[in-house]
A = this chain, B = another copy of it.
Amino acid sequence: MADQLSKVFAALADPTRRDMVARLSLADATVNELAEPYQVSLQAVSKHLKVLEDSGLVSRTRDAQRRPVHLEDNVFDLMTKWIERYRQQAEERYQRLDSVLAQMDADEVTDDSDPGAASVRGPEDDSPQLTHGRSRKGA
């Protein structure tokens, strides 16, 4: 469960896992090779790799009893696309005078129907549990 974007971000939230990705960007490596610099057990590294694997960040093939780990660089695009989208949107806000007006407007109405403020999500986005019809609590 959980969309890929969530899994990729979660995978990279761990410094050890980020370090592994960094090293894999230079060359494929086996589990043992990857484990070498860290203090943790081989099994712990294996777990980290499973996380990376089912986030789609790495893939494993088989070479005798070795399982070389390979970085799937294409997954980075998924993140970059998400990040860039909202970064751009945020940046635009500072260049248009619109934003200032919208801000003041939002400040005044506060509880208006406000179309467009809720759930901007676009084509490839994921859906958290929504209600959108204020059914929570005393609303």
Within 8 A of B (CB), among A111-134: 116-121, 125-132, 134
- The reply to whether B136 and A19 form a contact with Cβ atoms under 8 Å apart is no
> What is the total number of copies of this protein in its complex?
2
A128-B16 CB under 8 A given contacts A37-B118, A121-B22: yes
Alpha-carbon gap, A116 to B67, bound state (A): 21
A129-B39 CB under 8 A given contacts A13-B6, A13-B13, A26-B116: yes
Chain A interface extent, by class:
35 or more
The chain B residue with its CB closest to the CB of A23 is B120
Residues from chain B with Cβ under 8 Å of A97 in the complex: none
Binary CB contact string for chain A from 87 to 119 against chain B (1 if under 8 A, 0 otherwise): 101110100000100110011001000001111
Q: Please report A residues at the B interface, Cβ cutoff 8 Å.
A: 2-3, 5-7, 9-10, 12-16, 18-19, 21-30, 33, 35-42, 63, 71, 73, 76, 79-80, 82-84, 86-87, 89-91, 93, 99, 102-103, 106-107, 110, 116-121, 125-132, 134-137, 139
